[in-house]
Amino acid sequence: MRILFLLLVPLFLVVLFFLVRHLKNGRRAGLSPLANRSDRILYEDALKHLYKCEDDQTRATVQSLAGQLGISVDKTTQILSDLQGRGLVELKEESFPLTRSGREYGLHVVRAHRLWERYLADRTGVSEVEWHGQAEIREHEISPEQADRLWAQLGHPTHDPHGDPLPLVEGGLVQVPVRTLLSLGTDQCARIAHVEDEPESVYARLVEEEVFPGMEFRVLKRTVDSVTILTEGREKTLDSFAAANVSVELIEQEATDFSGTIRMADLQPGQRGEVVGLSRASRGLERRRLMDLGILPGTVVEPELRGFGGDPTAYRIRGALIALRKDQSAHIFVRRVEEPAA
């Protein structure tokens, strides 16, 4: 009997730990007890949507909320009624504003989502087009205290990788610039402040074109259907749907001058180049790895060996031979360096 007792005590403690953790996550703002995790996710998604609507000063309807959640109008009405009973929403004639507790909860879910995107961008090799989808899942698995620790671990960032602000729990959301790329005229210079990550198909096109927050550019051409910009020595043409999803702020001129440079990927064996800088498209782990390898302004690089099919290429960098893929070396700007005369 004593042996059985000793075996059951650790099992009981493990069960108790997960039970307390589950109840803690559900008690953030009165969402415990709920039947199951999927119900809690629906409730949290509803609070997040209502919070964003209030912050954007747009009116949420039962139909818009049902569409956002992907459920029926009847189910949405039931959720709103339950949220009212839990003190998170007020039901009025044509609206359902959040209570103070509801706003705090909604803000937490928004903040958790953006922190996860920041984490995925800075600390993992997860593809950019997957950040939003993974954050949609993980935002429901983190408490406010855990979010604070993650924020500190990431170095107290102020924005997510799309340019959305990362507020403190006590604060609200800072509005991103409302001027879009579509509003600019020919020869105007601007810096991208925010890239909308929905709808996914439009965002995927922006990722493919390497359009990202912080990128500086000049408008070369405007048509009814498209905008052509010049950035880091390259022309990019975006259709009007993609350009409408990009928010910008005007600047006098591009801060970094890459004129007279080429991409390191364009160096041929036997040619040498001096690093001028890294493209802003190189971010997170990839950017840190390149810098750790010594790829800094002033470093001389030289391609020596190309892999089968032309990729990767082994470069001589600070006395070491380092292999880089073409998509990595294409983010490095160099100026040709002639061999000294014998």
- Residues 205/260, Cβ–Cβ less than 8 Å: no
Query: What is the H or E stretch that residue 50 is in?
Result: helix 37-56
Spans of all domains in the chain:
22-173, 181-251, 262-337
- From residue 238, alpha-carbon distances to 183, 221, 250, 253, 330 in Å are 13, 11, 18, 21, 21
pTM above 0.85, yes or no: no
pLDDT of the residue at 227: 94
Residue 135 CA to residue 113 CA, distance in Å, equals 5
pLDDT of the residue at 189: 92
pLDDT of the residue at 4: 43
pLDDT, tens digit, 9 for 90 and up, residues 15-27: 444 444 443 444 4
pLDDT at residue 284 tops 50: yes
DSSP, res 165: B
CATH of 262-337, one of 2.30.30.90, 3.60.15.10, 3.10.20.30, 2.130.10.10: 2.30.30.90
36, two tokens: 């199951």
- From residue 277, alpha-carbon distances to 29, 261, 292, 295, 296 in Å are 48, 10, 14, 8, 7
Mean pLDDT of all residues in the chain?
83
* 180: number of Cβ within 10 Å: 17
Do 22-173 and 262-337 agree at the fold level? Answer: no
pLDDT, tens digit, 9 for 90 and up, residues 40-98: 999 999 999 999 888 888 888 899 899 989 999 999 999 999 999 999 999 887 788 99
Residue 108 CA to residue 27 CA, distance in Å, equals 13
Which is more confidently placed, 177 or 259?
259
Please identify, in words, the CATH class of the domain defined by 181-251: mainly beta
Residue 120 CA to residue 131 CA, distance in Å, equals 6
Name the CATH topology of 22-173: Arc Repressor Mutant, subunit A (1.10.10)
pLDDT of the residue at 119: 93
pLDDT of the residue at 12: 45
DSSP, res 98: B
Lowest mean pLDDT among 143-157, 210-224, 310-324, 327-341: 327-341
pLDDT of the residue at 252: 84
